[in-house]
Amino acid sequence: MAKDPEPGDAKMLRGRFVLIGGVLTGGFLAVVLLATSASAGMQRDLSNCTAAKDRAGAAACTRVMDSGRLPDAQMYIGFFNRGTALSRAGDYDKAIVDFSRALARRPQFARAFEARGLAYAAQGAVSKAIADLDASVMREPKEWRFLFSRASVLRADGQREAALADLDAARSLKSHEPKIALMRALLLADGGDYRGANDEVDSVSGAGGDDAAARYVRAAIAFAEGRGQEAAVLVDHALELRADFSAAQALKGRILEARGEAAAARKHFEQALAAGGGSFDAPAARRTARERLDALGKDAGKRGAEVAAAPAGMARQLDCKVFLPATGSVITATCSE
C-alpha cells in the first residue's frame, strides 16, 4: 500500500491509494466522485485514468482533473496517473511534465521520482534518470522496485557492478522476485558468466513470473555465447507472447544484423523504440536500438558514397555477410550486386 507522503490530509482518506502495476488506483478518486454523484461517463473516465494504459487513459485523467470534483490537494494523483499513461504511450516529454507537476504537489512522492527517472532513461538522459532514481531510493530505501529500476538503468549505462549491488539489495527485500533473478542473469552474462546466468533463469522457471521475459533473457544469453540460431528461436517465442516487448525487439534486431540482414534489423530496432515504456530491460533495449540505428544509418551512407564513386563500367562490389546456423557465426565475403 502506498504511503501518503505528507501529513494533513483528512484521516478518512489515508491509505486508500494502492500501488498496482506501478499505478495508483483511484481509491480516493472514487470516494470523491461518488460523493458528488459522478455520472456514468465520469465513472468510465475514473476507471480509464486508474488503468493508465495509453493516450485514452491520459485523456480520461484530464477530464477527471478538469471536472472540478477533485480537490486541489489530491491533484497529484491525476498528474501521476496521466504521466504514467503518457509514458506507456511513448510520449515521454509530456509524461515528464506531469510527473514534475505531481512532485511539485508532493515533494516526497518517491514513486513519481522513479517514474520520471524511467521516462528520462527512455529518452537517453541517463544522468537525470539516475538522479531521480537516487531520490526515489533515498525516500523509500525499503522498496525493492526502486532499487530494481535503478539497476536496470545502471545496466543500460554499463555500470555493471553498481547494478548488481542494487539487485542484491533488492533481493534482500524481495528474495523470490523473478524480475530480480532475470536482471541478475543479464548482468552475469554481460560479465561472461553464462553458467551463473542460466542458473538464475532456472531458479525462476515455472515460478509464475513473466514467461516472455524469461524467454528473452535465455535468448540474450544464447546470443552472447554465440548460439545465434537458438537465440533467434527463443526471442521469436518471446515476441509471440508479447509483440510490443521492447527488449525482445532490440535483441531480434541484433540477431538479424549479425546475419547481415540490415533492413530487417533496422525495422526491429525501430519497433523497440516505438514500444511504450515500462517493460523489462527497456532502458538497455532503447539504448541499443538508438546506437544500432545510428550505426546502420552511417554504414548505409558510406556504402552509398562508395558506390557513387565507383568508375563507370566497373562492376559494383558489395560486402556480403553469410550467417552459419551451425556455429551461430557470420562470415564476410565480396560479391557483385
**All cell numbers assigned to 162:** 553498481
Question: How far apart (Å, rounded) are the C-alpha atoms in residues 85 and 74?
Answer: 18
Closest CA relative to residue 251, chosen from 319, 327, 186: 186
Beta partners for 16?
Answer: none
| DSSP per-residue string spanning 293-329 | HHHHHHHHHHHHHHHHHSPTTPPPEEEEEEEETTTTE
Per-residue confidence (pLDDT) for residue 297, from 0 to 100: 86
Per-residue confidence (pLDDT) for residue 186, from 0 to 100: 97
Per-residue confidence (pLDDT) for residue 298, from 0 to 100: 67
Per-residue confidence (pLDDT) for residue 302, from 0 to 100: 52
Asked if 287 contacts 265 with a C-beta cutoff of 8 angstroms, the reply is no
Q: What is the pLDDT along the chain (337 residues), one digit of tens a residue?
A: 334 344 333 222 222 333 334 455 444 454 445 444 456 677 888 888 888 888 888 998 999 899 887 788 889 999 999 999 999 888 999 999 999 999 999 999 999 999 999 999 999 999 999 999 999 999 999 999 999 999 999 999 999 999 999 999 999 999 999 999 999 999 999 999 999 999 999 998 766 556 999 999 999 999 999 999 999 999 999 999 999 999 999 999 999 999 999 999 999 999 999 986 678 999 999 999 999 999 998 665 554 444 344 444 434 444 454 444 444 444 444 444 3
Per-residue confidence (pLDDT) for residue 206, from 0 to 100: 66
**How many Å is the maximal CA-CA distance in the chain?**
85
Per-residue confidence (pLDDT) for residue 3, from 0 to 100: 42
Q: Tell me the pTM.
A: 0.78
Question: How far apart (Å, rounded) are the C-alpha atoms in residues 148 and 162?
Answer: 11
**All cell numbers assigned to 2:** 502506498
